[in-house]
Amino acid sequence: MLSFNYKCSQCDTVYEISPELMLCPDCSCRHKPGQPLSGVLEVELKGTLTSSNPLEFLPVEAEFFPTIPVGNTPLWHPQNLVQKHGFPELYFKDDGVNPTGSLKDRASFLVAAFARKHAVREVVVASTGNAGSSMAGVGAAAGLKVKLVLPKTAPPAKMIQALQYGADVVLAEKNYDQAFALSLEYSRTRGGMNRNTAYNPMTIEGKKTVAIEIFNQLAADSAAGKAPDHVFVGVGDGVIISGIYKGFRDLLQLGRISKIPTIHAVQASGSAAIFRAMESGTFDGQAASTVADSISVDVPSNGLLALKNLRAHNGRCLTVTDDEILSAQQELSSNCGLFSEPAAATAYAGFLKQKSTLDSSEICVVLLTGNGLKDIASAAKKIVMPENAINSLDEI
Ligand SMILES: *Cc1c(COP(=O)(O)O)cnc(C)c1O
C-alpha cells in the first residue's frame, strides 16, 4: 500500500495533502512578478506497490475517478519511420487520442477526482488552450461545474470546444497573466478548486501516468515493464516533463527501473525560456511566438522544477524552428497516419535533430501530446489545397 504527502520542490518541507494547499506557503512568498511559480509542490509517495496499474500510483482512490476513459493511449511502432531512420526501437505514444484530444486530460482527470474526494463542486482554470478545454470535458464527465478564464484573444476553436462541454467561459480583457490572476482571485474569494497548471500539484502528478504506461507498454510481458532510453517531449510551461520525471522517479523508488531515461525537452526556437534558463540560470520573460501555440509561453509557470529535474537527471534541452516543427508534423502524418498538433510534432522534430547523436539500438519514445485537428490552420501552412473543381477527368 502507498501513502502520499506533498513536498516542496524548492525547500523540501513536507505537508499533508489538502485541497486548500496549492504552493509551499514559505517559498511562494518569495515569488517575483514575471518569474515562474515559487514553491511548487510535488506529491511524494511512501510504501510499496506490486501493481503496475498507473491509476494505483495516484494519491486519490479509484472510487472518486470520473468515468471517462483518459489515458491508456496507444504506443505506435510505425515500420515506415523505423526503417527510414534505422531506429528499430522508435515508438510514438499518441496522447492525442485522449477524450478531449490532448495529454492535459491526465491532469484534469486527477484534479476532478481530487475535487470529488473533497466534495468541491466547481473547478476554475485560466488557460489559453488545451488545459481549459480538457478540464471542461473531463469536468463534465465528473459532474463538476467548470469556470474557465480565457484571455479574450484565445483561439476560437479551443473556446468553442470548452463551451460545447458546457463550461462557463469568462473572458479577461488583457492577457493570460490577467486571466491567471482573476482565476486565482475567483477560487480564493468565491470558492472552487483552482486547476492552473503547476499551481495545482495534481496537474503534475496526473501527468505522470503517461510514463508508467510507456514502461508497461514497452515490455513484451507487461507484468515486467521496461524503461525507454530516451523520451522526447514538447515543452512550454514544463509541467509535462516534470510529470514524466515524476513517473519515472516513482518507478525508480519502487525498484521497477534502475535508471531514469534521458528526457529531451524540445522547445520551439521562438518560445525557448527553459532552454535559455538551462544556460543562463535565469528566466528572462522574453515574449514568445511560435506556430506551436500550446507551447508558446513567455514565463514557464513550472520553470524552476523543470530546470531542477533536467539538471538532476542529465536531461537535454534543445530548440527547433517553426519550419522544422511543421515539416516533422507532415512527415509523421504522411508516413504513418498520425496527425498531431504542432506542439506535439515538436517532440518529433527534436528526435530528428538529435538522432545523429544517439545510439540507434536504443529505445526512443516520442510523446505526441495533442491531436492535429485541434489546429488545422497551422497544418494548412504546409499543404497545397486543390484549387480548381473539375467537370471531367480530362482536366486532372
Ligand atoms: C500543454 C501542452 C504541451 C506542453 O506542456 P507543458 O506542461 O506546458 O510543458 C505540449 N503539447 C501539447 C499539445 C500541450 O497541450
For residues 164-171, give the mean pLDDT: 96
Residue whose CB lies within 8 A of the most ligand 1 atoms, among 37, 95, 103, 263, for a mutation test: 103
At 345 the pLDDT is: 98
Give percent above pLDDT 90 in the chain. Answer: 89
370 pocket-lining for ligand 1 (C-beta < 6 Å): yes
| Distance in Å, CA 221 to ligand 1 centroid | 30
| Distance in Å, CA 234 to ligand 1 centroid | 7
Instruction: Flag whether pLDDT at 235 surpasses 80.
Output: yes
Q: In residues, how long is the chain?
A: 396
Give percent above pLDDT 70 in the chain. Answer: 99
Instruction: Flag whether pLDDT at 106 surpasses 90.
Output: yes
236 pocket-lining for ligand 1 (C-beta < 6 Å): yes
| Distance in Å, CA 235 to ligand 1 centroid | 6
Beta bridge partners of 271: 268
Instruction: Flag whether pLDDT at 372 surpasses 90.
Output: yes
Ordered domains of the chain (ranges, CATH): 75-101+204-382 (3.40.50.1100)
Query: Sorting pLDDT into bands at 50, 70 and 90, what band is 223?
Result: low
Residue whose CB lies within 8 A of the most ligand 1 atoms, among 94, 100, 108, 130, for a mutation test: 130
Residue 368 CB neighbour total at 10 angstroms: 31
| Distance in Å, CA 344 to ligand 1 centroid | 8
Place of cell 496527425: 339
Calpha distance 279→288 (Å, rounded): 18
Predicted confidence (pLDDT) per residue in 117-130, tens digit: 999 999 999 997 89
pTM of the model: 0.97
At 176 the pLDDT is: 81
Instruction: Flag whether pLDDT at 151 surpasses 90.
Output: no
Query: Sorting pLDDT into bands at 50, 70 and 90, what band is 377?
Result: confident
Q: Which atom of ligand 1 is nearest to the CA of 343?
A: 11
For residues 355-366, give the mean pLDDT: 97
**Inter-residue contact 293 to 128 (CB < 8 Å):** yes
Instruction: Flag whether pLDDT at 290 surpasses 90.
Output: yes
Output the CA–CA distances (angstroms, integers) from residue 232 to 3, 56, 124, 164, 329, in the order listed: 30, 25, 30, 32, 14
Nearest CA residue ID for atom 13, ligand 1: 370
Residue whose CB lies within 8 A of the most ligand 1 atoms, among 37, 93, 102, for a mutation test: 102
For residues 50-69, give the mean pLDDT: 96
| Distance in Å, CA 23 to ligand 1 centroid | 21
263 pocket-lining for ligand 1 (C-beta < 6 Å): no
Task: Return the half-sphere exposure (C-beta side, CA atoms, 13 A cut-off) of residue 89.
Answer: 18
Which of 186-200, 206-220, 368-382 shows the lowest mean pLDDT across its residues?
368-382
294 pocket-lining for ligand 1 (C-beta < 6 Å): yes
Instruction: Flag whether pLDDT at 285 surpasses 80.
Output: yes
At 175 the pLDDT is: 82
Instruction: Flag whether pLDDT at 220 surpasses 90.
Output: no
For residues 328-347, give the mean pLDDT: 97
42 pocket-lining for ligand 1 (C-beta < 6 Å): no
